[in-house]
Structure 1
Amino acid sequence: MANNGSSRAVGAGRALIAVYAILALAATARSFVQIVGKFDVAPVAYVLSGIAGLVYILATVALLRRGDTWYRIAWITIIFELVGVLTVGTLSVVDPVLFPADTVWSFFGRGYLFIPLALPVLGMLWLYRRRPAATPEDAAS
């Protein structure tokens, strides 16, 4: 179903956005505590958790906002999130020494019940279903 500029915060989108908001809060708060309290233990892991938190915040905002620009930002953040969770997840399994402390994306989000692995897939499916309608100008080009 195509959608031109209307909110994506309808139906299942509300639940999806709520999960993004909760994960944004959890990841950001956890990384803040880790960076402030024990940064020297695992700086890379804690910075990655901070980046993940920021990505979740931006994805939440982008999913809430209307318009083509926010739609594209939502895609970018969710693709970045998927690449991040797959990369960090794989590296943490193959060489756990690289991550002496867990990140949001370590072991594919194991510490968050694997929600970080499922969420970008669900987000991309939702975005695809709520894609903006093509305009006559788009068809002509």
Structure 2
Amino acid sequence: MSSPTSRPRRMTGIGRVLVIVYAIMALGATGRSFVQIVEKFDQAPVAYTLSAMSAVVYILATLGLVFAGRRGWYIVAWVAIVFELVGVLVIGTLSLVLPELFQHPTVWSVYGFGYLFIPLVLPFFGLWWLITHPPVDEKQGADASPAAVTR
């Protein structure tokens, strides 16, 4: 039970679901890239390196969301999720416009088609969550709001 002066829990409801989906994507991308790099890296080094890079991004986003109550991790989450969004849009577009570059799929190819387009939708939910749940300023206390901080 929390008292009026304690910090509210951030990882409840949709926030918890978001973290779980990011963690699943991190595991999936890590496993996929590991197998691709170990078994056939010489066939498509760029595609498989991009898959490994997406795995790192998903890991950082997951950690950033879990610890987003701390300003440093909040920034990590923002950077990782914006990078993810740009990555999925750029790689997704390039994989359609110049398919010869991506004869071997990456996590973000065709906007995450191999992952049911979750890589395309997920960053929008992540950014929404970060916008609506900014970190609490330790000096202001648990009840500080962005409006209270600017007064």
TM-score (norm 2): 0.84
1:4-63 CA-to-partner distances (Å, cap 9, x unmatched) read x75531110000100000000000110000001000111000000000000000100110
Task: Give ranges in structure 1 of 5+ residues lacking alignment.
Answer: none
Matches of 2:19 and 2:99 in 1, distance apart?
A: 31
In the alignment, structure 2 segments of 5+ residues that lack a partner are 1-6, 136-144
Choose which of 119, 130, 134 in structure 1 pairs with 2:146: 134
Corresponding residue of 2:106: 103
Q: Paired residues, what number?
A: 135
Judge conservation of contact 1:7–1:64 (CA < 8 Å) in 2: no
8 A contact 1:82–1:117 mirrored in 2: yes
| 2:71 aligned residue (44, 68, 72) | 68
Q: Mean alpha-carbon deviation: is it higher for 125-134 or for 17-26?
A: 125-134
Q: Choose 121-130 or 111-120, whichever is displaced more.
A: 121-130
Q: CA RMSD in A?
A: 1.5
Per the alignment, residue 18 of structure 1 pairs with: 20
Query: Residue type matched to 2:78 in 1?
Result: W
Which residue type is aligned with residue 103 of structure 2? P
Query: Which 4+ residue blocks in structure 1 deviate beyond 6 angstroms?
Result: none
Letter in 2 for 1:45: A
For residues 34 and 120 of structure 1, the distance between their equivalents in structure 2, rounded to whole angstroms, comes to 24
* Residues in 2 aligned to 1:32 and 1:85: alpha-carbon distance in whole angstroms: 20
Distance 1:94 1:7 in 2: 44
Q: 1:60/1:112 Cα in 2 relative to 1: closer, same or farther (>3 Å)?
A: same
CA–CA distance in 1 between the matches of 2:8 and 2:43? 45
Normalized against structure 1, the TM-score is what? 0.90
Contact kept? 1:88, 1:106, Cα under 8 Å: yes
Instruction: State which of 72, 75, 80 in structure 2 corresponds to 1:77.
Output: 80
Of the two structures, which has the highest relative contact order with CA contacts closer than 8 Å and spacing of 6 or more?
1
Give the secondary-structure state (helix, strand or coil) at the position aligned to 2:92: helix
